[in-house]
Amino acid sequence: MVALTPEIRDSLTGTKTVFLATSSQNRVPNVVPIGAFKLLDDETLLISDQYFHKTLRNMTENPVVALSWWGEKGGFQIKGPVTLHTNDEIFLQDVAWMKEVRPNLAPKSAVIMKIAEVYHVKPGADAGKKIL
């Protein structure tokens, strides 16, 4: 796994919506906007699942995802493996976090993403270039 640089971390924490891409076992893609996410550390992202259907099925079949964003502090794409949590300490932490920040949302599962790769998404000569 890789550790995010301060620039990438600030860009991610400075945006409100990210886009999560998954793919089924049969290679059918799916992309959804996500607002309930946070960095646990420079290598790990927590995504709270309230509404996933195809996304959840895809992550069960193919537990590797891509996540991309663009905001006032730029944007990047990260890729990595995910694990799903529904009845453990990670899930309970997700439930407690949602009660604090969005009490009207009840998580169905907690998704832990380990950051394995990072890419540029800004236009120019480095667009799409792997940076970590």
- Domains of the chain, each with CATH number or no CATH: 6-120 (2.30.110.10)
pLDDT of amino acid 72: 86
The one-letter amino acid code at 18 reads V
pLDDT of amino acid 47: 98
pLDDT of amino acid 52: 97
pLDDT digit string (tens) for the chain, length 132 residues: 899 999 999 999 999 999 999 999 999 999 999 999 999 999 999 999 999 999 999 999 999 999 999 988 889 999 999 999 999 999 999 999 999 999 999 999 999 999 999 999 988 899 899 999
pLDDT of amino acid 58: 98
The whole-angstrom separation of Cα 106 and Cα 98 is 7
DSSP element (H, E) containing 65: strand 64-71
Beta bridge partners of residue 22, listed in sequence order: 30
**Residue length of the chain:** 132
Helices (H), the chain: 6-13, 54-61, 89-101
Residue 56 and residue 79 in contact, taking contact as beta carbons nearer than 8 Å: no
DSSP state of 124: S
Q: Which residue in 76, 70, 69, 66 sits closest to 8, CA to CA?
A: 76
The whole-angstrom separation of Cα 95 and Cα 99 is 6
Beta bridge partners of residue 66, listed in sequence order: 21, 79
pLDDT of amino acid 35: 96
